[in-house]
Amino acid sequence: MLERSVSVARSLAPVAAAGEPGRVNLPLLKALAAAGLLAEIFRRSGSGYEPTSAMALCEIREGLARHCTEAETAFALQGLGAYPILLAGSQPVVEEWLPRIAAGEIAVGFALTEPGAGSDAASLALSAVPSGDGFRLTGEKAFISNAPDASVYSVFARTSDAGSRGITAFAVPGSSGGLSGTRQTMVSPHPIGRLVFDDVYVPASFVLGSVDDGWRVAMRTLDMFRPSVGAFALGMGQAALDAAVAHTASRQAFGRSLRDFQAVSHQLADVATRLHAARLLVHDAASAYDSGQGRTGHLSAMAKLFATETAQVAVDVAIQVHGARALEQGHLLEHLYREVRAPRIYEGASEIQREIIARHLYR
């Protein structure tokens, strides 16, 4: 699966480059579907769909990230946004949305973060008040990937004052009356935006799972996807290391190759060692999740923490040994330098991952 996604990534680079930054690239989504990668995470099972393996998700994301981070992100966002629907949606909701998401015809968003609830996601304030045969949602979401262009969002809203036990998940169509959005300009080529819910009506049939059980839906989704965030980072780190090795093998300075300076080659040896260790952590967390061992959140946290922090180091070292040319706009490493920073924040910042690990130690 890793080598297949590497090959696909190379072919998708022109499609990704033709997209407009900050906008959903539908041709890229359709190309991912045509290559069979979206089918890997939206597997048909009888009349419905079944979850993919966390390991397959990791291998695809790492392979795509090595050669086309835009394709990787588009792929990952389809999975992250749709998995609450796949895991907890009713059959009619699943059949309304997942076939089009899997075909790359529409984009989907995972709407958890709010202006006042980032790392402390359980404190979200978007309210869902019962109204007739449904709910009315009022409030805001921020830093939502694929917003405001997604056709449907997996939205998490407060239905009671019981903290994380008072949150409910909903499938909310992007065309819902009262739902609006604006773009947020970020250090990112993919669309990110703010959503405003002004008394948005959502039928009770669009609840994902049970009322007040949305936090479990969110955590089931994130526990599966966190190791693959580490895999995404690994792909970028490996691309940076490969570029650094190639450059230092051919670049001459002071009468000899850069590879002959231990100050250079030993830095790359350290990066290679850390990337290998990170890959083992990512695969261990994915295997544990797939085997159904029970609580694997701490393993997912370790994998995401170590892999994303390691990738940041890998890109930084690669830039250092390249020198100023690596910071020219359009250079691979300039691109990776912008891309590698965000994974240390989204789906739980590094500090949150450390807290998850620490709590497991003292359980």
Would you please indicate which residues are annotated as catalytic (active-site) residues? 347
- Reading the block at residue 278, the tokens are 């990170």
- The CA-atom distances, in angstroms, between 307 and each of 237, 273, 354, 358 are 9, 12, 13, 18
Q: Angle at which helices 26-34 and 2-17 pack, to 10 degrees?
A: 150
For residues 209 and 162, the answer to whether their CB atoms sit within 8 Å is no
- Reading the block at residue 95, the tokens are 């059949």
Q: How far is CA 327 from the centre of its chain?
A: 25
Beta strand 152-158 pairing with 108-111: parallel
Give 330's Cβ-side CA count (13 Å radius).
1
CB burial readout 271-298, b (16+ within 10 A) else e: bbebbeebbebbbbbbbbbbeeeeebbb
- Could you give the CA distance from residue 143 to residue 339 in angstroms, rounded to a whole number? 16
- Could you give the CA distance from residue 265 to residue 245 in angstroms, rounded to a whole number? 8
**Which amino acid type is present at position 74?**
A
Strand, helix or coil at 89? coil
- Which of 219, 186, 198 is CA-nearest to residue 140? 198
